Structure 1
Amino acid sequence: MAAEMYLGQQVRVCCLKDRVGSEVGKKLGQVGVVSDMRVVDGKGIGLIVRFNDQSQTWFFLEELEPAFQLH
């Protein structure tokens, strides 16, 4: 079960369900910030994640995990 995510949250790309042949595959393991939400596949929720290089793409909830930074 995917954790609850919210706008502005830092997340890590932990796995990819598909689309691995593109630039998205390079995001595996990277940390970004949830910038928006959208409906995907006609019923599911996807999260748009912005990365430090200012690129952004969407991910299924199951592909993301909260990224916690130690202080």
Structure 2
Amino acid sequence: MEIGQKVKICRLREKVSPEIVEKVQQGQAATIKSFKMTDGSGVGVFVEFPDSTTGWFFEDEVVLVQ
């Protein structure tokens, strides 16, 4: 994955706002804006939806949109 690529959220491991849940249920794509190291060796991604809503997700929660 790279910054600028489009992704969809495929699952939610952590509690997120109802606004984000709705976008995930609708299958909205988001754009990767940056990465963050998680505790341990994981990587998280910050994404932005078309309406400028942002969220942070674990790498295994997102899939690339082809």
Task: State the TM-score bracket (shorter-chain normalisation).
Answer: 0.7 to 0.9
- Which protein is richer in helix relative to its size? 2
| Number of residues of Structure 1 aligned to a counterpart in Structure 2 | 62
TM-score scaled by length of structure 2 = 0.80
Structure 1 counterpart of 2:50, which letter? N
Distance, in Å, in 2 between the alignment partners of 1:47 and 1:9 is 11
Q: Once superposed, which parts of structure 1, at least 4 consecutive aligned residues long, lie more than 4 Å away?
A: none
Distance, in Å, in 2 between the alignment partners of 1:54 and 1:31 is 12
Give the root-mean-square deviation of aligned CA atoms: 1.4
Aligned equivalent of 2:8, options 9, 12, 15? 12
Q: Percent identity?
A: 32
Point out where structure 2 has 5 or more consecutive residues left out of the alignment: none
**Cα deviations across residues 14-50 of structure 1 (Å, max 9, x unaligned)?**
1111315x2332231220100000122x122100001
Point out where structure 1 has 5 or more consecutive residues left out of the alignment: none
**Secondary structure at the residue paired with 1:11?**
strand
TM-score scaled by length of structure 1 = 0.75
Please tell me whether Structure 1 or Structure 2 has the larger radius of gyration of its CA atoms. 1
**Secondary structure at the residue paired with 1:62?**
helix
Q: Does 1:58 align with 2:56?
A: yes
Distance, in Å, in 1 between the alignment partners of 2:22 and 2:57 is 13
